[in-house]
Amino acid sequence: MSEPLFDFSHEYDQMLNEGLKLSGEDKEYFVAGRLMELKKRLPAGFSPSRILDFGCGTGGTSTALKLMFPDAEIVGVDASQAALAAARRLNAGEGLSFHDLADLKPDASFDLCYVNGVFHHIEPERRAEALALILGSLKAGGYLALFENNPWNPGTRLVMSRIPFDRDAKTFSIPQARRMLAAAGFDIASEGNFFYFPRMLSFLRFSEPALSFFLPLGAQYLVLGLKKSSA
């Protein structure tokens, strides 16, 4: 966990969007889609006071989380000093801050932890350590929203091969993610697949919620973990 999750902050968006060209969409489309999926799966009326953006990168999703939950304090953490510098430069506003991952304390103060595409950069033997830190950072009854790239989707593998900081990532499937969260002490509250169709087939996107039930081949998935009251 002491190594930066990526060291390409100055070129991050350029490289990411170059890889995503195959989908016909850009980074903002996927950020919005993930947040829509998250809000759909959280309890009705869920109103967090503090949200942890774990592996916040250059901070774009932290700002999007603030827009979705305007009354919440958003805290982004990352191991890359270059990413944090970019996040502070590009995102500003009351209730929005960015900190070194090493300074994160498991103080049970967060209602929600958002994690996207981070765990495939963590060595498998260190993932339990990262999940323990997240669990300790959440209040009892708090949620972990773990978003990951789906290795069962051939398009995902192709896109990742085109992005320099994702080429050597160690992806894992949704059943593996479920087992990992359960072993860390989370209850599994919900899960789903999404981003099935590129822009050229966007007329089929209406079918994605149904596909998620029986064909787990979306480009990304979400496993929503719940911290037990006794955890």
Query: Residue 99: pLDDT band by 50, 70, 90 thresholds?
Result: very high
User: Is 153 among the domain residues?
Assistant: yes
CA end-to-end span of the chain: 23
Q: Could you list the residue range(s) of the whole structural domain that residue 71 is in?
A: 9-227
Res 8 pLDDT > 70:
no
User: Is 55 among the domain residues?
Assistant: yes
Mean pLDDT across the chain: 88
Task: Please state, in angstroms and rounded to a whole number, the distance separating the CA atoms of residues 102 and 123.
Answer: 17
Res 163 pLDDT > 60:
yes
Distances (CA, A) of 33 to 28, 37, 85, 163: 8, 6, 26, 20
pLDDT at 228: 87
Other beta carbons within 10 Å of 212: 19
pLDDT at 17: 59
Q: pLDDT, tens digit, for every residue of 76-89?
A: 999 988 889 889 99
Task: Please state, in angstroms and rounded to a whole number, the distance separating the CA atoms of residues 226 and 228.
Answer: 6
Question: Per the structure block, which two tokens stand in for 217?
Answer: 């081949």
User: Is 4 among the domain residues?
Assistant: no
User: Is 3 among the domain residues?
Assistant: no
User: Is 210 among the domain residues?
Assistant: yes
Chain position carrying tokens 């991050």? 12
User: Is 217 among the domain residues?
Assistant: yes
pLDDT at 112: 98
User: Between these two residues, 84 and 158, which has the higher pLDDT value?
Assistant: 84
User: Is 86 among the domain residues?
Assistant: yes
Percent of the chain whose pLDDT exceeds 90: 63
What value does the mean pLDDT take over residues 97-102? Answer: 96
User: Is 220 among the domain residues?
Assistant: yes
Domain count, the chain: 1
Can you give the CATH number for the domain in which 180 is found?
Answer: 3.40.50.150
